[in-house]
A and B are shown apart, each in its own frame.
Chain A
Amino acid sequence: MDKNDRSYSNEEITVHWKPKECIHAGTCFRELRKVFDPSRRPWIDLGQGTTEQIIDIVERCPTDALTFERNVTNGVTSNETSSKPVTAEKVTFSVMRNGPILAEGKFTVIKPDGSEQEIKSITSFCRCGMSRTQPFCDGTHNKQGFFPDNY
């Protein structure tokens, strides 16, 4: 566990947040801003949405940055937790609105210096030119506003 990891609970579930796993796809704050608000501290407030809404968003987080588990009630644990299988022969590159390109699948990245990196399941590529971890996204576009057009 990383020292920056956090957990947030409501009466039914506990959401775990691992910032090092985040690839800044932005699904959480775009679709459920009341709960996931990067400008607020703490940025996750489970009291602002229903458990169903929160689980839906957590399950659509493309990495394990957001996961959840059911809370123990009356000594009975539920085995239901989020799982994010990533299957791919074909690699899918999804353009995120005002955000990076989300790449899902197994493939090889060749960086500008010629070095290679194997991607096992998922990564995201910078589209705004401002990331400091090129060619990957580091979330800088959120600070800069990125560009105003749809893509």
Chain B
Amino acid sequence: MSNTQHKTKATAFKDGPLMIEGNFSIKGVDGVILSTMDKAYLCRCGKSANKPFCDGSHKK
């Protein structure tokens, strides 16, 4: 399967993070690629100590 369009999904959980799945990359503010994994959880609440990733702080 070489056609990866629409394969990538971003799921915003209620009161939780943004889960990214599929063919994607995440770049930090300096343009450096932070993650090449096939799944990532991004902070959506502004409270994570591990931004841009979720660390579960939204539950506190």
Contacts and interface: CB of A to CB of B under 8 A. Distances in A.
A103 B10 contact: yes
For chain B, the bracket of interface size reads 20 to 34
Contacts of A88: 5
A135 B18 contact: yes
B44 interface: yes
Nearest to A89: B4
B24 A151 contact: no
A31 to B, nearest CB: 13
B38 to A, nearest CB: 12
A111 interface: yes
Contact of A91 (B8, B29, B46): B8
Contacts of A103: 10
Given A89-B5, A90-B4, A127-B52, A108 B10 contact: yes
Given A125-B44, A127-B44, A93 B25 contact: yes
Given A101-B52, A126-B44, A127-B46, A95 B26 contact: yes
Interface stretch (A8-16, A38-46, A59-67, A142-150): A142-150
Given A101-B52, A128-B46, A147-B46, 10 more contacts: A91-B24, A94-B27, A94-B31, A95-B52, A106-B6, A108-B9, A125-B18, A125-B44, A129-B46, A151-B51
Interface of A: 88-97, 101, 103, 105-113, 118, 125-130, 134-135, 146-147, 149-151
12 contacts: A91-B25, A93-B42, A94-B31, A96-B29, A101-B42, A110-B10, A113-B14, A118-B6, A127-B43, A127-B51, A127-B52, A135-B18
